[in-house]
Each structure stands twice: as C-alpha cells, then as structure tokens.
C-alpha cells in the first residue's frame, strides 16, 4: 500500500533513512568499531545518488568569479555540504565548503557566475534543509585551483 501512495523511490529513501538513524542510535560513541566510518560512507553514497539527478540548465557565457557564501539555518546534519560538493563537481566549479559554527555552512566557490548562482539557488530550495539567510560576497580568484573539497574542522 505504501508503494502505491509514495512510489518505490520515496519508500526506498525512507527505509534507508530509518536504517541509518537506527544504526546511529545503537552505535553512538562506538568509534573503535569502525561503524561510524561505515555509516558516514553509507550517508555519502546515499547523497551521491540523490544529487546525481539534479538537472542543470544550459548556461550562457558569463564572467569567471569567486564567491564566499554563508548559508544560515538548518544546514548542518542534513547532507548540505555533500550536496554542494556533488553539484559543484557536476558544474565544474572549484573551491571548498565547511561547517562554520552552529547553523552555518561556509562556501568558497569559483567558476562561471551563472553556475554559482544556480548552485546557491538549488541549495536554498532543498526540502531537507531550511536556509533562513544567505550572505554572498565576491572575493579574489585563486589561480590554479582544480578541485572542490569538503573541509573538516
């Protein structure tokens, strides 16, 4: 019956989330067992699958810029940084993303301006995150940067 109501994709996603949550509750504090790394890999794999379906528009030619973006709201613990990383890589953007402090994620991203604006707009529209404020500033370009990474504090 749930398959008829939600469809197989949504039901599968719900089951995966419940399993991950249940595992996290049972192994909290069990760092020596390696289960936390396994859970992290499982979450990353799930996020890679979810973000791989984002359709980007055809982009016009635009200027090459670097932006510092700070997202505020419920943006930690919901796969926000991983979604940024996957989408940034799909859009051929470089830079980094990290948790800044409570309820903030900081992003430095470099590439075509219209692609960066698409990335920011997409992140604001996520249903599993609640973005309450976005601060965007243009900063100097870093020559030679080739990757997009997730930084850990």
Neighbours of 116 (CB within 10 A): 25
**Among all residues, which ones are annotated catalytic?**
81, 99
At 64 the pLDDT is 94
Contact assessment for residue 90 and residue 54, using Cβ atoms and an 8 Å cutoff:
yes
Instruction: Please report the beta strands in 2-150, taking only residues with DSSP state E, as ranges in sequence order.
Output: 64-74, 94-101, 104-112, 130-139, 148-150
Tell me which of 143 and 11 has the higher pLDDT: 143
Is 58 in a helix, a strand, or coil?
coil
What token pair was written down for 110?
A: 């470099």
Average pLDDT over residues 87-98: 95
pLDDT tens, position by position, 26-69: 555 554 456 666 666 666 666 666 555 566 667 677 899 999 99
At 61 the pLDDT is 78
pLDDT tens, position by position, 95-134: 999 999 889 999 999 999 999 999 999 999 988 899 999 9
Neighbours of 83 (CB within 10 A): 22
What token pair was written down for 91?
A: 């859009």
């Amino acid at each position: 019956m749930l398959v008829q109501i939600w469809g197989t994709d949504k039901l599968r996603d719900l089951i995966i989330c419940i399993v991950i949550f249940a595992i996290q509750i049972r192994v909290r504090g069990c760092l020596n067992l390696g289960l936390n790394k396994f859970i992290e890999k499982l979450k990353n794999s799930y996020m890679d699958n979810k973000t791989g379906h984002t359709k980007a528009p055809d982009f016009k030619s635009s200027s090459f810029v670097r932006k510092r973006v700070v997202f505020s709201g419920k943006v930690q613990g919901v796969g926000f940084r991983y979604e940024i990383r996957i989408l940034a890589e799909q859009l051929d953007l470089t830079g980094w993303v990290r948790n800044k402090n409570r309820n903030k994620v900081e992003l430095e991203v470099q590439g075509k301006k219209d692609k960066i604006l698409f990335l920011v707009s997409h992140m604001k529209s996520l249903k599993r995150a609640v973005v309450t404020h976005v601060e965007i500033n243009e900063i100097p370009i870093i020559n030679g940067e080739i990757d997009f990474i997730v930084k850990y504090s």
